[in-house]
Chain A
Amino acid sequence: MAEKKSLGKEFTKGLIKENPVLRLVLGTCPTLAVTTSVTNAIGMGIAATIVLVCSNIVISALRKVIPSKVRIPAFIVVIASFVTIVQMLVKAFVPALDTALGAFLPLIVVNCIILGRAEAYASKNSIIYSAVDGLGMGVGFTAALCLMGTFREVLGAGTFLAGIQDLLVLFGDNVLGGWNGFDFNGALEFAGLQPITLFILPAGGFFVFGILMAVANKIADGMGKPKAVLGCASCPMAAHCTSKKEDSKCNKKEADAV
């Protein structure tokens, strides 16, 4: 590689700057479908992260063996193997999560985040970087799902982490004294309020998704370097441009439109 990258940066870019859900807009389908509760979001996030890291490692290791013409089927075979393994593990150890996620667990195979990272990153970088990239992306995915799940569950159902025992069953029965999440419905009823059902429905999911995307864009714009402004030389409108500003302050929107 021409450029030396730091492992830390490869990891943290998945959190906000290149967050797969909020910035790259990948994996939208599971994002909207499973974020009705935080428990489901955590389960989905962890399952996808495991698949992502494992498939990134294997694809990166095989990157010189796989002919580029058949790379997509090859990636899918690798990803599908790991999804099958994860699905069997979930069915065996966390059966309640398997019921809750339903078809979305096997559908991780076609999750664009995983295929996207395989294509864009793992097939071009060394094993260790690919593993860190997968982990960062997976954590970013899980964090975004949890954030959405928090808003949707608290506002839409009046609970938080409800059914968490379904996940904690991994560590034995009655972990944390059988604590099964917060339930605000009693307090809400006392105050004469009730949850806003809309947020549990797909329409509410889109509202939360849109607002979180806007916030993530705002944060990422704030922490990144100022956007590179194209000079007139690289502008496709340069030949027809009437402003002829040499200091590259021409209307970039026009360039984008073309």
Chain B
Amino acid sequence: MKKLTVSASPHVRSSFTVPHIMLDVIIALIPALIASIVLFGFRSLLITAVCVVSCIAFEYISRKIMKRNTTISDLSAIVTGMLLAFNLPVTIPLWMCVIGCFFAIVVVKQFFGGIGQNFVNPAIGGRIVMLVSFSSAMTNWTAPLEWKNGLDAVSAATPLASLGIGSDMTGLPSLLEMFLGVRGGCIGETCAAALLLGFVYLLIRKVIKPIIPLCFVGTVAVIMLIAGKGSFEFMLYEVLSGGLLLGAIFMATDYATSPITSKGKVIFAIGCGIITAVIRLFANLPEGVSYAIIIMNILVPHIETITKPRPFGAEKEKKSKKEEAAS
């Protein structure tokens, strides 16, 4: 006999749960993972595996120590691990990956209360800690596809490092190569085609809304178009290089650290774009996507306050005060 369970609302259960969303993100990241293996060899798979396993382990251990229920089954640790791995160069020593994962999961996520409570995107937090701590190892780029020739690693500059306003672009990979990811860089960020494939998948599954990625990339494109004095080639190189697409599609759209309202999302994304462009054009750092996202992540609570939607039918406070003064 079937038991009659009487429970409080909500009664309608949707399949749109955290594990489902995370699974969709993982699926969307698979093309970029495959591209990274093709471009940089099996070591990129090894790095991804180490990051994923250590993220899961840290999540499990820290939840156990803090005497909270285990949350590894929501798959969020796997997403963090994959995203962090995609932000690392292929030559990175594995123990550094573990330290990055420790910061991402334990400090950024679990110290602040676990999933949904992290104050910045965990993967970016981990990446910045690694970038600050191991700056030489984190910027040790290798040329793509060289691993097939049996060479260990051929160091190469990223296009972003050699790209400057007015500099000639003859030494750079062609735009098609840039689009396919045949360039130096972090393992998961180079292949624009694979990232866009993941973007389309996330859009179809309605996991993310297109506002943040489009505004983010659009802002960078517009600023670069102006800075490059109308050169579309320069603008396209800027958009396709660095971690812009990876950051805009997968990291800036993190639910916990991006605004809720569409208006807030636009402000957030344009802010990310401006900071990225300013860092790339004027600062001493070659790449600014991760710093841009982390700064805007911290500003999200303030963006939420100024974009708080008005309840239907409520009057604006200022208006009523003016009316009072008039009467």
Mark A residues whose CB is within 8 Å of B. 192-194, 196-198, 201, 203, 207
Contact = CB atoms under 8 A, between A and B. Distances in A.
A197 B134 contact: yes
Given A198-B129, A207-B107, A193 B95 contact: yes
Interface in B88-114: 93, 95, 99, 107
B151 interface: no
B133 interface: yes
A207 B99 CA distance: 14
Interface residues of B, number: 10
Contact of B135 (A193, A197, A203): A197
Contacts of B132: 197-198, 201, 203
B92 to A, nearest CB: 12
Interface of B: 93, 95, 99, 107, 129, 132-135, 137
Main SS of the interface on chain B?
Answer: helix
Contact of B134 (A192, A194, A201, A203): A194
A196 B93 contact: no
A198 B95 contact: no
Nearest to A195: B133
15 contacts: A192-B93, A192-B95, A193-B95, A194-B134, A194-B137, A196-B99, A196-B133, A196-B134, A197-B133, A197-B134, A198-B129, A198-B133, A201-B132, A203-B132, A207-B107
A198 B129 CA distance: 7
A207 B107 CA distance: 9
A194 B93 CA distance: 10
Contacts of A197: 132-135
Nearest to A203: B132
B132 to A, nearest CB: 5
Nearest to B135: A197
Contacts of B134: 194, 196-197
Contacts of B93: 192
Contacts of A192: 93, 95
Contacts of B99: 196
Nearest to A191: B95
Nearest to A192: B93
A193 B97 CA distance: 12
A196 B134 CA distance: 7
Nearest to A194: B134
Sort A-B residue pairs by CB-CB distance and give the 5 closest, nearest first: A198-B133, A196-B133, A197-B133, A198-B132, A198-B129
A192 B132 CA distance: 19
B89 to A, nearest CB: 15
B153 to A, nearest CB: 16
A185 to B, nearest CB: 14
Nearest to B136: A194
Scoring B132, B133, B135 by chain A CB atoms within 10 A of each residue's CB, the highest score goes to: B133
Nearest to A199: B133
Nearest to B111: A210
B323 to A, nearest CB: 34
A197 B128 CA distance: 12
